[in-house]
Structure 1
Amino acid sequence: MTSLRILVPIKQVIDYAIKPRVNATRTAVVTSGVKMSMNPFDELSIEESVRLRERNRDAVRDILAFSAGPAKAADTLRTAMAMGADRALLQGEGSDLEPLFVAKLLREVVHKEGCNMVICGKQSIDDDSGQTGQMLAGLLGWGQATQAAKVDVQGSEVVVTKEVDGGEEVVRVKLPAVVTTDLRLNEPRYATLPNIMKAKKKPIEKKTLADFSVEFGKRLETLKVVEPPPRQGGGKVDSVDGLISRLKELGAI
């Protein structure tokens, strides 16, 4: 098996159990004073990286967690290291970064750190763009396997099983490669207290935008952020015939 140096991008998002609120000016979602946590898809990526090491300890040389965002994202990186990442890198000079800019940052990290595999979540639950992994593969010129439900490294190849409408699809890509994770890939472990204490001693290297040869710029403009309309109450019918009649009235059948 090829010796792996794995990069795992991590994003800090509003906790999935918290209902987001739109600010008064309708320009963004309120994040001040809101519980933040690791993007759930990124938890899957860290877990899968650690499991690859557990299956073949000699194959995985390094697991690097990287985050680009506010300085408080360091807390999320600590969680990643408590789950099993060896070290962490934080670019803590920005928030609300666009996928292409993040992909360019990741390309720089890959080159500087000598990574030959990137495992990242297929999307983040805040903007749901689902673009960063694919953009990174394009910028690097690497093969990519998206929405992984199973990952296996066989020699110099990564074998990824993904769920599709008709069942399962198996994709083989040669290393180096980018893999994006889907929800059924694994069940992320909890960071235990002993591992949390150990993670406090692991290094977090902090970088600024000046350390990367990437020009920051906005390509997208948010016109308005609004909450979805409240769901309407349902109705009751007395029989199957009544249901069919109602569906016809609504144009559903």
Structure 2
Amino acid sequence: MKILVAIKRVVDYAVKIRVKSDKSGVETLNVKMSMNPFCEIALEEALRIKQSGLASEVVAVSMGPSQCVDTLRTGLAMGADRGIHVESTAALYPLTVAKLLKALVDVEKPGVIILGKQAIDDDCNQTGQMVAGLLGWPQGTFASKVLLDTEKQVATVEREVDDGLETLCLDLPAVITTDLRLNQPRYATLPNIMKAKSKVIKKYTPQELNVEVKSDIEIVEVTEPPKRKAGVIVSSVDELIDKLRNEAHVI
């Protein structure tokens, strides 16, 4: 069984975000970029499934400008067998990404698609669900535990919901999106980083996959959240109550 894992290049989670002066988006020039943390978890889960003998190949897919190859190399260094880069200089929104993934599924014929539940740059949380809808495959979102039975062609997905834990049984092929508690991603070792340089990355364009790239979303304005006032240290409970009543007006 082949596993297809979608990974996204985003601004590193440790970087302090700066909004562009024209408020059209977030500044990305000369900013450290890395693999989306949820995508790291998705890739780690695919690698663990392969190590358990339930998958024969893990294919990492990234979409966007040429710099996405660096993110793919990171995925290959973690252990993915090969990579696919759909190169596009235009902005790619969730529906377009879902259509591109569907086109790649027609080419690669995977048994499972694993994605991070969302990207930390736009927090859309839409791509996995859209891919499942376009393919007509069952989906297990926000997975905190994944078990595969390749003989019965079934995946069991445990997910956290407001009331506790929900367990889903999905017929394969299926789409799974990963949550934070699923696993702890591994670090790429130096030998694997060197090996990744010789692994294959196949390139496609949206035109080759017969997918039209168009904007389904209009970004009206991006602004920073209002700055919070600095906190104060009070010397007594009475002073705290006085400030909550007369300054904060919460009691």
**TM-score normalised by structure 2 residue count:** 0.93
Deviations 1:157-208 (A, max 9, x none): 1111112233322111111110000111111100001101111111000111
Q: Does 1:110 align with 2:109?
A: no
Q: Does 1:90 align with 2:85?
A: yes
The two structures, once aligned, show a CA RMSD in angstroms of 1.6
Match of 1:164 in 2: 161
Match of 2:208 in 1: 211
Match of 1:51 in 2: 48
Structure 1 CA distance, aligned partners of 2:168 and 2:138? 10
Matching residue's letter, 2:39: D
Structure 2 CA distance, aligned partners of 1:15 and 1:166? 33
**1:70-85 map, 5 Å:** 70-85=65-80
Contact 2:91 2:215 in 1 (8 A): no
Larger mean CA deviation between 158-167 and 19-28 belongs to 158-167
Contact 1:68 1:95 in 2 (8 A): no
3-state SS of 1:184 partner:
helix
Structure 2 CA distance, aligned partners of 1:7 and 1:244? 56
The percent of aligned pairs where both chains have the same amino acid is: 51
Match of 2:128 among 118, 127, 133: 133
Q: Does 1:200 align with 2:194?
A: no
Q: Give 1:46 shift.
A: 0.7
Q: Does 1:143 align with 2:138?
A: yes
Unaligned stretches of 5+ in structure 2?
Answer: none
**TM-score normalised by structure 1 residue count:** 0.92
Match of 1:67 in 2: 62
Match of 1:22 in 2: 19
Structure 2 CA distance, aligned partners of 1:95 and 1:78? 22
Q: Give 1:19 shift.
A: 0.9
Deviations 1:187-231 (A, max 9, x none): 110000110111111100011121111111112111111112222
Matching residue's letter, 1:159: T
Q: Give 1:235 shift.
A: 3.5
Q: Give 1:93 shift.
A: 1.4
Structure 2 CA distance, aligned partners of 1:239 and 1:166? 39
Q: Give 1:79 shift.
A: 0.7
Structure 2 CA distance, aligned partners of 1:178 and 1:170? 15
Match of 1:8 in 2: 5
Structure 1 CA distance, aligned partners of 2:49 and 2:76? 15
Structure 1 CA distance, aligned partners of 2:134 and 2:107? 15
Q: Give 1:5 shift.
A: 1.2
Structure 2 CA distance, aligned partners of 1:244 and 1:158? 54
Match of 1:180 among 169, 177, 180: 177
Structure 1 CA distance, aligned partners of 2:245 and 2:175? 48
Structure 2 CA distance, aligned partners of 1:74 and 1:182? 25
Deviations 1:50-70 (A, max 9, x none): 101112x2x212211111101
3-state SS of 1:110 partner:
helix
